[in-house]
Chain A
Amino acid sequence: MDSFANRRHIIRFIVILIGFVYVIRLFFLQVIDNSYKLTASNNVLRYVTQFPARGLIYDRNGELLVYNEAAYDLMVIPRQVKAFDTTEFCQILDIDKEYVRNGIKGARKYSVYNSSIFLKQISSKTYAKLQEKLFKFSGFFVQPRTIRKYTSENAAHVLGYVGEVNDKIISKDNYYKSGDYIGISGIEKYYEKQLRGEKGVNVFLVDVHNRIKGSYANKKLDKEALVGSNIISTIDADLQSYGEKLMKNKIGSIVAIEPSTGEILTLVSSPSYNPELLVGRKRSPNYLSLKIDTLKPLFNRALMAQYPPGSTFKIINALIGLQEGVVLPRTKYSCGGAYFARNLRVGCHYHRSPLNLKESIQISCNTYYCNVFRNILDNKKYPSIREAFDKWSDYLFSFNLGRRLGSDFNNELKGLVPDKKIYDRIHGKNGWGSLTIVSMAIGQGELGVTPLQMANMTSIIANKGYYYTPHIVKEIEGDYSLDDRFNEKHYTKIDSSYFNEVIEGMDLAVNGAPGTGSTARLAQVPNVTVCGKTGTAQNPHGEDHSIFIAFAPKNNPKIAIAVYIENGGFGGTWAAPTAKLMIEKYLNKEISIQWWEDYILNAEINYNAKKN
């Protein structure tokens, strides 16, 4: 009747098979495998992360800039929390019961099994008090961490700061867990991987009373933390500190580079802030008040402020003119106090006339460069101005203007070199000529250069035609080496030989005989030949920006510097003496005439008289 009765064997077979598999599995689990039996008593595993000390940061002479200090986070594992004496707990930690309730609730929301931070950065003193009573508070434990400390108030923009990771970072990079720190700007950000080291973990057996009973599985699962690598910065701490001192009460920036290596000696953005403000429990309120400060202390002007280069740009136009063969060192143009063409007038100041090329740099003649610039753009070599303009901008790109330098800062801007299409759009394809854009002859108009780019440009002139990409880190200890791109020589499209003439002009601008019309005599440094060029950038927000670029000594230059002082007026007034003091400090180690330092320190620049 029942032809399927044999199937009972299959069913029985399945039952026995499963039973057999389970017994074998249990035999392995209970008899063979010893890892589960390590301890006879009550155990639960606790994973304690070992946070490595973050790498230290030194200046180029080995002076310590950033170090670490111990701090303790109180952690909680909600699942293990038992009823405890809240009054005593609150008293030790100096918190209220509301905080305890919310803290545990918040932690529970994150995870019942995982630990989360209950109270951040408790002091060593509180920690000592808490430690002896911790056994009463099941589910709580202390996690040592380190926080950043600074040896001075300087170089905040260079060093950057560290902060807690946010959810976005956690979801992108699974190295980071809630509560971890990460570099947010400057060296701390760019060299995060090297500085942070590698977290380790210790797996402990903990009894129900939250007491550590020993390591789990013979430390098989433990991982040693790797200490972060120390970093030697290219910064000269003394010069940096001096630069920040000089820039007190001024808005602007100083960038100094060692031309032979591209190492950044000083990078000042003013106003700055005390890096100590962005550390520890008071970080959030401090950050907020810095953020809403109208002077924008968090804004790194050295990398991100794009100013017109003003007259310093004449050097570049002179070099392009020489390279293109449209001007010769002996070429002279006369100037009657302004450049006139059709119905356009570009003003100049009163000076002797006519001038040759190097005198035009010495005296900074606008008329001369209107002529040079127009010669470049109206060159018969090119079918139209559009091609000539492209050629001209190619030269600028080779100076890395309008391009990101690729330094080891994350937030560097690329500046502005206009594209011909902009003029096509405004004036029509054939509707513009050299005269339309003649303001760029003297570095005004649609040009934007950051102080870092400007310093690099100066460094190129000092090197007579090449540069190393500016960088802020000199050496990384441990297994890391500096990126190869910082050892690469970049050449501009100007032949080295053309630089001599403009350097002569820059020498004359600073060291020309009194009464010959030198524009930057305030930048003279005893025993050193400084070559420099002033600049005055018109800007729509008020008084002109005072600009000065210089390098020294003339032969075998050691420092190339760019100084921007916003609304400081003529370049020779504030920027030139500031640069002089910096160069003197760096090369001579002492200031010969104290009066100049006081002059700069006591400068009062009126930032309230802003035009709208």
Chain B
Amino acid sequence: MQRKINIWFNIDWFTIILYLLLVFMGWINIYAAVYNEGHQSIFDFSMRYGKQLIWISAGLLLAFIILLIDINFYSYFAYAIYGTMILLLVAVLIFGKEINGATSWFQIGSFRVQPSEFAKIATALAISRYLSAFNVKINSFKSYIRLAAIILLPAVLILLQNDTGSALVYFVFILVLYREGISESILLIGLLIVVLFILALVFSKFVILIGSIIITFLIFLALNKDFKKTGFGFLILGSIIFILLVVNQILEIHLSNYYIILIALTISSLIYIYSSVKNKLKNVFILLIFLFSTTAFTYSVDYVFNNFLEEHQQKRINVVLGLESDPYGVEYNVNQSKIAIGSGGFSGKGFLQGTQTKFDFVPEQSTDFIFCTIGEEWGFLGTSVVIFLFAFLLYRLVGIAERQRSAFSRIYGYGVVSVIFFHVAINIGMTIGLVPVIGIPLPFFSYGGSSLWAFTILLFIFLRLDASRLELL
């Protein structure tokens, strides 16, 4: 009894209140989104809002049960839970039901479960368990491989289910690794790849090549503070380019300027390496590696983009980057979503007064695009309150994670933060046209049992761990 009192006493009630608030707001917005005059009661169980109430109640029950479970259960069984989840992900590929092109559902009677929603919890547990072991050094090749395996295995399986959105979620665990001390350069390289990927899609290879050459020279200048050597290096490259251009013109080889610069760069690189060895200049080698891998990377982007992404995914990315316009196809959802949100104005049209979302103009208005209903009916006030609540929740969860005495609890806490953050950022970003359309739910808001329960379990395991933080000495 002693311990139980401790739990209720030490649990973070503040977060629970935030949770209940978000879930309640979600529920009434689902009511507004699919409001049907024939079924006005919010307790009508034939409608989505009635059903959502069932999911919420069941979710609260789950939360309560989780709070009763011993904290050691999660770290002991972390790998077992992870293993079971992997098996389920494989099983759903074989026995699953296909809905909207994704094979990610188990159907039992009229009841459907989406295991990929729960796999995030298992992955967070497995990462926590692995990193909290005493003899693990995060910045070792072995750890990199193992962590990559833990994170990518479920991601790949979900990708195979044709649910790209849910698979992308797994990349957010890099935030957890970052907090746990993974080398910043890994993070920087990751960021660089993303930035380059986008730049490579927007600009031509030629522009990127010129750009990265200039940047490399500037970095060199910043590192060595030697104008003379930098200028000399620039002169070498420039004159080789000039010679090649002349040769190209005279011999009529018709080589494009891109290749001329690339060849000139290769030749002058040899000169740079020679003189750097001679003059004992640092960084030259690394800078050249950076330059050439950038170039190689821009090459692979087109290939990856054209061969690994499906047409609708390419389109979604192109639409966000402004490279393509297709107001009735891919852009339709986003356009309608922006119209709905934008028409809300400062204070919204009022509860149940939204028309854009109600009349089917916005697709998926109770699931992935639930934010439109908030925007239309509650206006800028409503949307900023929701964003504030989420930001506040995440801020608080970071604080809670940091106060943990056990590494396992802390790491898991960051897992919770990362997953919720990714979902919120991508989901809202997509409805306001800042992020490509990636079909993932808004935590606690979107209609659906699987998603609601998964986030509830994810959060309450952490609250349970937190409640017992003082037991550890």
Contacts and interface: CB of A to CB of B under 8 A. Distances in A.
A29 B376 CA distance: 11
B434 A22 contact: yes
Given A8-B179, A30-B345, A36-B342, 7 more contacts: A12-B395, A12-B398, A19-B390, A30-B375, A36-B338, A42-B356, A43-B339
A29 B387 contact: no
A11 B338 contact: no
Contacts of A114: 328-329
Given A7-B178, A22-B434, A114-B328, A30 B346 contact: yes
Nearest to A25: B432
Contacts of A340: none
B395 A16 contact: yes
A11 B391 contact: no
B387 A31 contact: no
A4 interface: yes
B345 A37 contact: yes
Interface of B: 175, 178-181, 327-329, 332, 336, 338-339, 341-346, 349, 355-356, 358-361, 375, 379-380, 383-384, 387-388, 390-391, 394-395, 398, 401-402, 414, 417, 421, 425, 428-429, 432, 434
Contact of B395 (A4, A7, A15, A41): A15
Contacts of A10: 178
Given A42-B359, A113-B329, A15 B380 contact: no
A8 B398 contact: yes
19 contacts: A4-B181, A8-B401, A11-B178, A18-B421, A21-B434, A22-B387, A22-B428, A29-B338, A30-B344, A31-B380, A36-B338, A36-B343, A40-B355, A43-B361, A44-B336, A45-B327, A113-B329, A114-B329, A208-B360
A21 B425 CA distance: 10
B379 A30 contact: yes
A33 interface: yes
B432 A29 contact: yes
Given A11-B178, A12-B398, A15-B394, A33 B384 contact: no
Given A8-B398, A15-B421, A42-B359, A22 B181 contact: no
A5 interface: yes
B285 to A, nearest CB: 29
Interface in A1-59: 3-5, 7-8, 10-12, 14-16, 18-19, 21-23, 25-27, 29-31, 33, 35-37, 39-45, 47
B388 A19 contact: yes
A588 interface: no
Which secondary structure dominates chain B's binding surface?
helix
B346 A31 contact: yes
B434 A25 contact: yes
Contacts of B339: 36, 43
B204 to A, nearest CB: 22
Interface residues of A, number: 38
A410 interface: no
A334 interface: no
A4 B179 contact: yes
B180 A30 contact: no
A27 B384 CA distance: 9
A23 B382 CA distance: 11
Nearest to A7: B179
A111 interface: yes
A114 B342 CA distance: 23
Kindly name the residue among B391, B401, B421 whose own CB sees the greatest number of chain A CB atoms within 10 A: B391
B391 A15 contact: yes
A3 B179 CA distance: 10
A30 B328 contact: no
Contact of A208 (B359, B417, B421): B359
B389 to A, nearest CB: 10
A202 to B, nearest CB: 15
A29 B355 contact: no
A14 B188 CA distance: 15
Nearest to B176: A11
A8 B383 contact: no
Contacts of A15: 391, 394-395, 398, 417, 421
A150 B385 CA distance: 67
A23 B342 contact: no
A453 B421 CA distance: 77
Interface in A90-104: none
A3 B175 CA distance: 16
Interface in A336-366: none
Contact of A11 (B179, B332, B341): B179
A11 B432 CA distance: 23
Contact of A3 (B181, B343, B361): B181
Kindly name the residue among B343, B355, B421, B425 whose own CB sees the greatest number of chain A CB atoms within 10 A: B343
Contacts of B181: 3-4, 7
A19 B359 contact: no
Contact of B432 (A14, A26, A43, A47): A26
A43 B391 contact: no
Given A42-B355, A111-B328, A23 B387 contact: yes
Contacts of A113: 328-329, 332
3 interchain residue pairs of minimum CB distance: A36-B342, A113-B328, A19-B391
A29 B346 CA distance: 10
B342 A30 contact: yes
Interface string A100-125: 00000000000101100000000000
Given A29-B341, A30-B345, A22 B388 contact: no
Contacts of A31: 345-346, 380
Nearest to A29: B342
B288 to A, nearest CB: 30
B434 A11 contact: no
Nearest to B340: A36
A3 B182 CA distance: 12
Contacts of B384: 23, 26-27
B180 A4 contact: yes
A26 B383 contact: yes
Contact of B361 (A12, A26, A44): A44
Contacts of B329: 111, 113-114
A491 to B, nearest CB: 37
B402 A5 contact: yes
Contacts of A26: 341, 375, 380, 383-384, 387, 432
A111 B326 CA distance: 12
Contacts of B361: 42-44, 208
Nearest to A114: B328
Contacts of B344: 30
Contacts of A30: 341-342, 344-346, 375, 379-380, 383
B402 A8 contact: yes
A274 B346 CA distance: 65
A11 B178 CA distance: 9
A115 B390 CA distance: 41
